Amino acid sequence: MGFAAAPLAILIGVLLTGAVVLVLYWVRPEPQPITVPSNLIWRRVLDERRRREDFWRWLISLLVALLASLAVVLALSEPAPAGAGAGGRVVLVLDTSPTMAAAAGGGTTRWDRAADHARGILESAGPGTEFLILDTAGQRGGRSFDDRRAGLEAVAALGPVFDAEHALPDLADLLDSEAATEVVLIGDGVRIPEVPDGVRAISVFEPVDNAGITAFDVRPLPTDPGRFEAFVEVVRHTASPDASVLVLQIDGAAGASVRRTLRVEPGVPRGETVPLAGFVSGPVRAVIAGAGADGLAADDVAHAYVPSRNRLRVLLTGEESPYWEAALRLDPRVSLTRAPEGADPFADFDPGAFDLVVIEGDPPPEAPPRPVLIAGSGSADWLPPRLGGTTEAAVTLPMRSGREPHPALSGVDFGDALAREVDAFDPAAEADPGRGGWRILAGDARLGLLAAREQPLRVLAFAFPLARSNLALQPDFPVFLSRALSWLTDVEVRRSGLGAVRVTIAEGGVFDAEGREVPSRRIGSDLSFQADLPSLYYVAGGGREVVVAASLLDRAASDLNRSAWAGEPSAAAPPGSPPVATLWPILALFALVLLVVEWVAFHRHVTV
Partner 1 sequence: MSEDGTLFDAEFMERIEYLKLMATRMLPSRHRGEHRARKRGTGIELADYRPYVDGDDTRDVDWKAFLRLDKLVLRVFDEEADLPVYLFVDQSASMRFGDPPKFDYARKMAGALSYIALMNHDLISIAWYGPRIGEWMPPKRGRNQIYRAFRFLDAGETGGGTSLNQCFRAFFGSRRKRGLAVVLSDLMDPEDLLAAFDHCRYQKHDLVVVQILTPDEQDPRLPDEALLTDVEDGSERRVRVTPRLLARYREALEAHRREVKDYCSRYGFGFALASTGVPFEEAVLDIFKQDRFIR
| 26/389 with CB nearer partner 1 | 26
By rule CB under 8 A, what count of residues binds partner 1? 25
**Residue of 15, 19, 23, 41 interacting with partner 1 (CB under 8 A):** 41
C-alpha–C-alpha distance, residues 542 and 80, integer Å: 58
Q: Which residues contact 292 (CB under 8 A, 6 or more apart)?
A: 209, 238, 244
Stretch binding partner 1 (CB under 8 A), from 29-37, 388-396, 484-492, 577-585: 29-37
Q: Is 571 helix (H, G, I), strand (E, B) or coil?
A: coil
User: Closest separation between CB of residue 43 and partner 1, Å?
Assistant: 7
The single residue among 144, 401, 434, 605 that binds partner 1, judged by CB under 8 A, is: 605
Task: Identify which range of 43-51, 269-277, 302-310, 392-400 contacts partner 1 by CB under 8 A.
Answer: 43-51
Q: Which of 7, 8, 29, 342 binds partner 1 (CB under 8 A)?
A: 29
Binding mask 575-604 vs partner 1 (x if CB under 8 A, - otherwise)? -----------------------------x
Helix or strand holding residue 261 (H, E):
strand 257-264
590: how many CB neighbours lie within 10 A of its CB? 17
Question: Is 33 a binder of partner 1 (CB under 8 A)?
Answer: yes
321-330's contacts with Cβ under 8 Å and 24+ in sequence apart are 321/360, 321/361, 321/375, 321/465, 321/466, 321/467, 322/467, 323/466, 323/467, 323/472, 324/358, 324/360, 324/375, 324/466, 324/472, 326/472, 327/472, 327/477, 327/478, 327/481, 328/358, 328/481, 330/478
> Which of residues 44, 143, 311, 446 is near partner 1 by CB under 8 A?
44
- Taking the C-alpha atoms of residue 414 and residue 602, their distance in angstroms, rounded to an integer, is 94
CB-wise, 516 or 604, nearer to partner 1?
A: 604
Binding test (CB under 8 A) with partner 1, winner from 7, 26, 38, 197: 38
Taking the CA atoms of the chain, what radius of gyration do you get in angstroms?
36
* Segment near partner 1 (CB under 8 A); pick from 36-44, 276-284, 431-439, 582-590: 36-44
Considering the complex, state which of residue 31 and residue 515 has its C-beta at the smaller distance from partner 1.
Answer: 31
Could you say which of 7, 8, 26, 36 contacts partner 1 (CB under 8 A)? Answer: 36
What are the C-alpha distances in Å from 198 to residues 62, 88, 125, 171? 54, 16, 19, 10
3-state secondary structure of 176: helix
Contact flag: residue 43 with partner 1 (CB under 8 A):
yes
Cβ–Cβ < 8 Å for 539, 508:
yes
If the CB atoms of residues 34 and 347 are measured against partner 1, the closer one turns out to be: 34
Count CA within 13 A, CB hemisphere, residue 222.
7
Phi/psi for 573 (5° steps) reads: -60, 145
Please report whether residue 34 would count as binding partner 1 according to CB under 8 A.
yes
Which one of 7, 8, 26, 32 is in contact with partner 1 (CB under 8 A)?
32
Q: How far apart are CA 488 and CA 429, in angstroms?
A: 21
176: left (phi over 0), alpha (psi -120 to 50) or beta: alpha
Q: Which is nearer to partner 1, 62 or 445 (CB)?
A: 62
Task: State the minimum distance, in angstroms, from the CB of residue 600 to partner 1.
Answer: 12
Stretch that binds partner 1, among 27-35, 394-402, 441-449, 492-500 (CB under 8 A): 27-35
- Among 27, 49, 403, 575, contact with partner 1 (rule: CB under 8 A): 49
Binding piece for partner 1, criterion CB under 8 A, among 46-54, 379-387, 462-470, 583-591: 46-54
What's the min distance (Å) between Cβ of 50 and partner 1?
Answer: 11
478 contact partners, CB below 8 Å, separation of at least 6: 327, 330, 331
Binding interface with partner 1 (CB under 8 A): 28-46, 48-49, 604-606, 608
